[in-house]
Structure 1
Amino acid sequence: MGLESSRLQPEEIEEMRAISTFSEAQIKTLYRRFKHLDKDNTGSIAVDDMQGIPELAMNPLSRRIVAVFDADGRGEVSFRQFVAALSVFSRDAKREQKLSFAFKVYDVNNDGVISSSDLFIVLKQMVGSNLDDAQVQSLVERTILEADTIDNDGAISFGEFKRAMFNADLENALTIDI
């Protein structure tokens, strides 16, 4: 995919437009940013290098966000994965896409539900040392009790997550300008 060269080919731009909500100009901007992050010029960014992106570095969930970007778990992110994942943060992304991304951030073991252990890991990352483990566990139990309303199985399904996030302002919380 054109990453060896300094420019994207027209067919590559069209492919990126097909998998994202970005315009051609935005894709070119993302490509320049990607090339800057791809320091060894391999056509991919190591997951650890993504932690250096300023917008991610200050987010306590940066490791989880990057893990969602690295959908295949190879420890690196291709330009295609980069564009597809960032598309979720576009103003033109649908609410369902934003919900799906947020759900994946919380579903640490990627089993399709947010279990008590998944939620504990994410909340612990969010609160750091501000709460002790017992306080975090209490918050986890309360959250699951409130959200697990469809099947009462002790975990939060995507449907339950959507219901719990009904009033959340994801459009602003999960939107960045490219």
Structure 2
Amino acid sequence: MGLASSRLQPEELEDLQSISNFSEAQIKTLYSRFKHLDKDNSGSISIEEMTAIPELAMNPLANRVVAVFDADGRNEVNFRQFVEALSVFSKSAKRDQKLNFAFKVYDVNGDGVIDGSDLFHILKLMVGSNLTDAQVQSLVDQTILEADVLDKDGAISLQEFKRAMFNADLENVLMIEI
């Protein structure tokens, strides 16, 4: 996707605009950043290169975010995937896009629900050794009890997640300036 050249072609720009919330100028800026991150000029960014991004490196959920970016599980992200994934962080991204992204970050095993093991994993990443496993499990149990209100199946569905996140300020939390 244009990575062999130093510039994106007009049809590539048009395609990238159609799959994202970015303007042509923002895509060009992202392309420049992508090329800088692509140290080996392979046309993709490895998981290691992604997690070296300072804003991601200090996030305890960095590996989960990168895993969502790497939708095909190849341990690398090409420029199209990069733009598509970052699009959720743009100012013009819809709240629903942000909620779907956040849900995927929490759905560690990718089975379409956030169950106890998914939530335990995420909370453990977030709190580290500040809480015991028993305390984390207590938080997991309480969270699922409070959020699993529609089907009461012991897991949080996307619909239940969106309901539980009703008051969350995702528009400002999940946003980057480009």
| TM-score bracket for the superposition, by shorter chain length | over 0.9
Aligned to 2:4: 4
> Please, what is the CA RMSD of the aligned residues?
0.5
Alpha-carbon deviation of 1:134? Answer: 0.7
Alpha-carbon deviation of 1:111? Answer: 0.4
Aligned to 2:90: 90
Aligned to 1:56: 56
Correspondence 1:160 to 2:160: yes
2:123 corresponds to which letter in structure 1?
L
Aligned to 2:173: 173
Alpha-carbon deviation of 1:72? Answer: 0.6
In structure 2, the residue corresponding to 1:129 is in which secondary structure?
A: coil
Moved over 3 A (4+): none
In 1, the alpha carbon distance for the partners of 2:153 and 2:48 equals: 35
Alpha-carbon deviation of 1:25? Answer: 0.5
In 1, the alpha carbon distance for the partners of 2:132 and 2:5 equals: 50
Identity across matched positions, percent:
76
In structure 2, the residue corresponding to 1:88 is in which secondary structure?
A: helix
In 2, the alpha carbon distance for the partners of 1:81 and 1:2 equals: 13
Alpha-carbon deviation of 1:173? Answer: 0.6
In 1, the alpha carbon distance for the partners of 2:81 and 2:121 equals: 25
In 2, the alpha carbon distance for the partners of 1:2 and 1:164 equals: 41
In structure 2, the residue corresponding to 1:45 is in which secondary structure?
A: strand
Aligned to 1:38: 38
Aligned to 1:148: 148
In 2, the alpha carbon distance for the partners of 1:14 and 1:42 equals: 23
User: TM-score scaled to structure 1, two decimals?
Assistant: 0.99
In structure 1, the residue corresponding to 2:77 is in which secondary structure?
A: strand
List alignment gaps of at least 5 residues for structure 1. none
C-alpha offsets along residues 61-98 of structure 1, whole Å, 9 cap, x if unaligned?
A: 00000000001111000100000000000000000000
Alpha-carbon deviation of 1:4? Answer: 1.1
Alpha-carbon deviation of 1:49? Answer: 1.2
Aligned to 1:133: 133
Correspondence 1:18 to 2:18: yes
In 2, the alpha carbon distance for the partners of 1:43 and 1:21 equals: 22
2:24 corresponds to which letter in structure 1?
E
Aligned to 1:27: 27
In 2, the alpha carbon distance for the partners of 1:113 and 1:103 equals: 8
In 1, the alpha carbon distance for the partners of 2:95 and 2:32 equals: 27
In 1, the alpha carbon distance for the partners of 2:105 and 2:90 equals: 17
Alpha-carbon deviation of 1:158? Answer: 0.1
Alpha-carbon deviation of 1:7? Answer: 0.7
List alignment gaps of at least 5 residues for structure 2. none
Alpha-carbon deviation of 1:19? Answer: 0.3
